[in-house]
Structure 1
Amino acid sequence: MRNDETTLLSPVPDDDGAPFWQYAARGELRIQACADCGELRFPPRPCCPLCHSFASEWRRMSERGRIWSYVVPHPPLLPAYAAQAPYNAIVVELAEAPRIRLVGNLVSGPGAPLNSVAVDRIRIGARVQAVFTEVAGMSVPHWILERS
């Protein structure tokens, strides 16, 4: 089943976050870091909150993390998502940067619908890995459960 790409939410890149989406299009999860002190930051912004430097670089992450939190909206937040209910929205803390947390969806595999993982399989602390799926013409990170 294909999403109606004209009504689903899609990312709106800004100047600071554009590299995140460019790397995602290549299937890479990268996080902005201060080029002077090394502090990782997300969401991307022009200035380091730690040392106030404007120098930055994009570091490749392992694409692994843990579910920090999740929600299953009832009813769906927007009408365009009704066909995929019940679906989840998860918060993932990155393995190598636990203070960095990304919001996404837990799915059964790349390109799978948002409702492809049963709600009773979602657990706080579960290990996940990023996969990239095209949504409204952009590659976005979704998450799959790591195999034990």
Structure 2
Amino acid sequence: MLAPVSDEDGAPFWEYAARGELRIQACAACGEPRFPPRPCCPHCGSFDSEWRLMSGRGRIWSYVVPHPPLLPDYADQAPYNAVVVELADAPRIRLVGNVVTSPDAPLNSLDPARLRIGAPVKAVFDRTGLPRWLLERP
């Protein structure tokens, strides 16, 4: 399994995820959410930020089922999905992940034929704190 790569700006994202919370960095001056995390707001230039708790709900904005698998370490789990999720609480924020049947399920646990653009999903976290997605109406 690939481990998240964290930097100073993104470390809080992974710390909250390890606790099962989906939080997104936002500008404390103008209020705009931003992802990926960075030191300066691209909207107003402020260096003040906060971490907002999200509901974890979103919708599939896009997805792909790579053939052959994109990552050799995951070849035994093919076919698996890679999705882009638009957050309900911050529609301009999109996160990449996988839709699975339970937080610690393998990447190929969901039949890719069940995926649809616009399908509602909910964030869950595996035992390592990696965000994943469940279909809200399986």
TM-score by length of 1: 0.91
The residue that corresponds to 1:84 in the other structure is 77
- Describe the superposition over 1:41-95 as per-residue Cα deviations: whole angstroms up to 9, x where unpaired: 0000000011100000000000000000000111111221011000000000000
**Which of 113, 117, 141 pairs up with 2:110?**
117
Residue 56 of structure 1 corresponds to 49
> After TM superposition, what 4+ stretches of structure 1 lie above 6 angstroms from structure 2?
none
In structure 1, the partner of 2:122 is: 129
Q: CA deviation digits over 1:118-148, x for unaligned, max 9?
A: 01100000000000013xxx41100000037
Mapped to 1, the partners of 2:10 and 2:37 lie a distance apart of 5
Deviation per CA, 1:14-55: give whole Å up to 9, x if none.
000000000000000000000111010000000001110000
Equivalent in the alignment of 1:34: 27
**Cα RMSD between the aligned structures?**
1.0
**In 2, distance between residues paired with 1:43 and 1:87?**
24
1:66 is aligned to 59
The size of the alignment, in residue pairs, is 138
Structure 2: state its 5+ residue gaps.
none
Indicate the structure with greater strand content: 1
How high is the sequence identity, in percent, across the aligned residues? 75
Instruction: Classify the secondary structure of the residue corresponding to 2:68.
Output: coil
Distance in 2 of aligned mates of 1:70 and 1:78: 16
Determine the C-alpha separation between the residues in 2 that align with 1:85 and 1:10.
19
1:144 aligns with 2:134: yes
C-alpha separation in 1, matches of 2:136 and 2:70: 28
